[in-house]
Amino acid sequence: MKSNIVLIGISGSGKTTIGKMLAERLQMEFYDTDREIEKLTGKMISQYFAEYGEARFRLEETAMVKKLSQYDHCVISTGGGVVLNRQNIDYLQEKGTLICFSTRPEIILERIKADINRPLFHNGDPYQNILRLLRERKKLYQVAELTIDTSDMDFPDVVSEIHEFVK
């Protein structure tokens, strides 16, 4: 078994919620790249995007991915755009098993519509943005060793499926 479990997938697919449950079940540390960036910079993701733009956020994200990838025995939940940079994947795969969550767009919309800390979705029509991002990233998410559709699953069942897979 590789040392880390890395969760990738679009916003609202359950990475953070399931990741925390998984870390607790397997007695591993939990890290979320976005929360770590917020701690480091003292800015919410939405604030960071507004002040510095996406390009600079991606640099910050890669630096954080590089740092967290060196840790051992942890569950790492990543931002939905982490797959846009191949370097991120290389870092994460060094010690980590990549698991992707996929989710139907209507469910993603339900989960994220009230969350204004997701700048890429709320600039324009959120549902159209979800469809576009899914289309643009579909291939990139295929880098995962296992993909789980979390749309209709209870999260504890997702945790069990991952546990079985990484045993």
* Residue ranges binding ligand S3P (CB under 6 A): 11, 34, 45, 79-81, 118-120
Min separation Cβ 1 and ligand S3P, Å: 25
Single out the residue of 148, 163, 143 nearest to residue 5, CA to CA.
Answer: 163
- Report DSSP state, residue 75: E
Is 157 marked as binding a ligand?
no
Min separation Cβ 80 and ligand S3P, Å: 3
Structure tokens at 151: 């749309």
Is 19 marked as binding a ligand?
no
Is 17 marked as binding a ligand?
yes
Which burial class, exposed, middle or buried, applies to 135 when counting CB atoms under 10 A from its CB (0-12, 13-18, 19+)? exposed
Q: 147 pairs with which residues across the strands?
A: 100
Is 78 marked as binding a ligand?
no
Is 132 marked as binding a ligand?
no
Q: Which is nearer to ligand S3P, 128 or 164 (CB)?
A: 128
Q: Which is nearer to ligand S3P, 11 or 97 (CB)?
A: 11
Q: Which is nearer to ligand S3P, 18 or 162 (CB)?
A: 18
Q: Are 11 and 112 in contact (CB under 8 A)?
A: yes
Structure tokens at 40: 């480091």
Q: Are 105 and 134 in contact (CB under 8 A)?
A: yes
Min separation Cβ 79 and ligand S3P, Å: 2
Shortest-Cβ-distance residue relative to ligand S3P: 79
Give the whole-angstrom CA distance, residue 151 versus residue 167. Answer: 24
Q: Which is nearer to ligand S3P, 95 or 118 (CB)?
A: 118
Is 15 marked as binding a ligand?
yes
Give the whole-angstrom CA distance, residue 160 versus residue 40. Answer: 32
Known binding positions for Mg(2+): 16
Known binding positions for ATP: 12-17, 118
Known binding positions: 12-17, 34, 58, 80, 118, 137
